Chains A and B, each alone.
Chain A
Amino acid sequence: MLGAAGFVAFVAVWYVLVHFEVWRFAKLPAPGAILREWVSRKPEFGTSLFTRTYYDDIWASVTRVLAAFALATVLGVPLGILLGWNRIARDFLFPLLELIRPIPPLAWVPLAILMLSSQTAAIVFLTWIAAFFATVLNTMLGVASIDEAYIRAAYCLGSRRWDVLWNVIVPGALPYVFTGLQIGMGVAWFSLVAGEMIAGDAGLGYLILNAYDQLQVSTIVIGMATLGFVGFLSSAAVRWAGSRLMAWQPR
């Protein structure tokens, strides 16, 4: 209940600041105006719950994030397990990864556009690289966090290396893998927005920047709110998948 009160207060303050044109808040749209635009059948700036383009943009962004996220998972988790489990692979590959990792995902924008002719591919690459590093690193940490006793117990009970990998390493690293996937999802959306703003021709990031070019400020906020909502849903989906897969974890 208190939470709702807090939120209402936030919107009220926002309304007052805009209404009485306090300082530069005059430039911002009032909450009411945004809501009306968002739900109107014939929105002034062409974007609302009832316009097709709104859903096309959402669909474009969501498919790009899911493609990049799936790619990051399929490549990142096995590589993370390999690096965590095999000392030689770690010696060769980890320093290289540590050298590339500090480069912020968005610094790849120019190179991505150069390397990949199509804009969508460049954006997906950007989104992928952010999620990939988060997944590899956390999976590796997951493998390292497994208590030596579990590995020894498995060997004691007659396992060979392959059995230990499937019955101890993978399940044991799962909690960290999902932490990595959650961070990966967050960073994926983060990079997607920038990618779409800089090199996009569709998607929520493009919608927001385009709305800015046309000085449609309320559409900017609609775009931001939608991004927030869709981002929240996708992280929740990852958390839900995690809790299902790891039913054994104490509640």
Chain B
Amino acid sequence: MSTQAVPGTAPVGARAARRARWRGLANVHAIRGAAGILAFLALWQIGVLLHLPVVAKVPAPLEVARAAAGLLHDPRYYVDWAVSFRRVAIGFVIAQVLGVPLGLVMGWKTTFRYVTFPIFEVLRPIPPLAWVPLSIVFWPTTEQSIIFVIFLGAFFTTVINTMSGVRALDDRYVRAAISLGASPATIFRRIIFPGALPSIFTGMAVGMGITWSVLVAAEIIAGRSGLGFFTWEAYVGGAFPTIIVGMVSIGVAGYLASSSIRLVAKRVMPWTSRL
């Protein structure tokens, strides 16, 4: 991706020199990356100490570190992790179980798409969180209402991505399969579905990102537990450094969830990775 000539194209050195430069290069970038992060933390720390306008009320990195250390062996902290993961998992899985088949059929059968797609196009622009109040009214327990909103967050993304994956599949694959004598069922199972898989996983990755955002807000608005509520409770209770611990925890949790999807994708779709 570098659009600049590789720095340091010195005259012809010995073969070892070139290989050393190649290895040296790799960690020059890593060093700069670490430097960038340390500089940010340092500026943050200094900013707080100097009571600069916006940053003044923000807890300094050291305080945050201390708060984090304190929490690491507090069991309640891990309960909130478990609660949040459970909600995301249930909402996300239901969204895939319903969303993928629906997306596949919408992509494959044009008449079905003409009937159902407009409903999607009307409901989709409504931000998932706008559903929270209605969801609380509709579902008996708060837990179900939170999971429903999380489900919505991922559901639309999955359906749209799956559908476009099927429609983007070049029709020469289907034609080749028909010529080779495949029945419609075989075509759906061994051509349409695998062909749409890359788009399905894209939908999942994007959907997972959305579910975590929805979870946090839903837990703040309606929840009694979970990482979102934990962060909000820290604010209400005045334990400001813990707010940032909460934020970082949610960030880490979201990252773990997304990378697990990427791992599953690599295993399920070996043909997409290079040699």
A111: Cβ under 8 A from any B Cβ: yes
B213 touches A104 (CB 8 A): yes
A5: Cβ under 8 A from any B Cβ: yes
Closest B residue, CB atoms, query A114: B57
Pick out which of these stretches binds chain B: A35-43, A52-60, A218-226, A237-245. A218-226
Closest B residue, CB atoms, query A190: B127
Q: Please give, as numbers and ranges, the residues of chain A lying within 8 Å of B125 by CB-CB distance.
A: 186, 189, 227-229, 231-232, 235
Assembled-state Cα–Cα distance A215/B36 (Å)? 50
Contact of B232 among A94, A109, A144 (CB under 8 A): A109
Assembled-state Cα–Cα distance A4/B121 (Å)? 12
Q: Please give, as numbers and ranges, the residues of chain A lying within 8 Å of B58 by CB-CB distance.
A: 111, 114-115
B247 touches A85 (CB 8 A): no
Closest A residue, CB atoms, query B110: A2
Contact of B111 among A2, A7, A87, A100 (CB under 8 A): A2
Contact of B36 among A10, A85, A92 (CB under 8 A): A92
CB-contacts of B1-27 with A (<8 A): 1-4
A198: Cβ under 8 A from any B Cβ: yes
Assembled-state Cα–Cα distance A224/B130 (Å)? 6
Pick out which of these stretches binds chain A: B69-77, B131-139, B195-203, B265-273. B131-139
Binary interface encoding of chain A residues 25-51 relative to chain B, with 1 for a CB under 8 A from any of its CBs, else 0: 101100000000000000000000000
Q: Please give, as numbers and ranges, the residues of chain A lying within 8 Å of B154 by CB-CB distance.
A: none
A158: Cβ under 8 A from any B Cβ: no
B263: Cβ under 8 A from any A Cβ: no
Assembled-state Cα–Cα distance A211/B210 (Å)? 25
Binary interface encoding of chain A residues 1-30 relative to chain B, with 1 for a CB under 8 A from any of its CBs, else 0: 011111101100000000000001101100
Q: Please give, as numbers and ranges, the residues of chain A lying within 8 Å of B111 by CB-CB distance.
A: 2
Given A212-B133, A232-B125, CB of A93 within 8 Å of CB of B228: no
Assembled-state Cα–Cα distance A110/B116 (Å)? 39
A3 touches B115 (CB 8 A): yes
Q: Please give, as numbers and ranges, the residues of chain A lying within 8 Å of B243 by CB-CB distance.
A: 110-111, 114
Given A102-B254, A113-B235, A190-B213, CB of A7 within 8 Å of CB of B29: no
Closest A residue, CB atoms, query B134: A220
A175: Cβ under 8 A from any B Cβ: no
A72: Cβ under 8 A from any B Cβ: no
**Residues of A with Cβ closer than 8 Å to B?**
2-7, 9-10, 24-25, 27-28, 84-88, 91-96, 99-100, 102-111, 113-116, 143-144, 148, 151, 186, 189-194, 197-198, 204-205, 208-209, 211-212, 217, 220-221, 223-225, 227-229, 231-232, 235
Contact sample, A vs B, 5 pairs, CB 8 Å cutoff: A9-B115, A99-B37, A103-B251, A110-B232, A231-B126
Excluding A3-B117, A96-B33, 7 further A-B contacts by CB distance (< 8 Å) are A87-B4, A104-B209, A104-B212, A106-B213, A110-B232, A191-B213, A212-B136
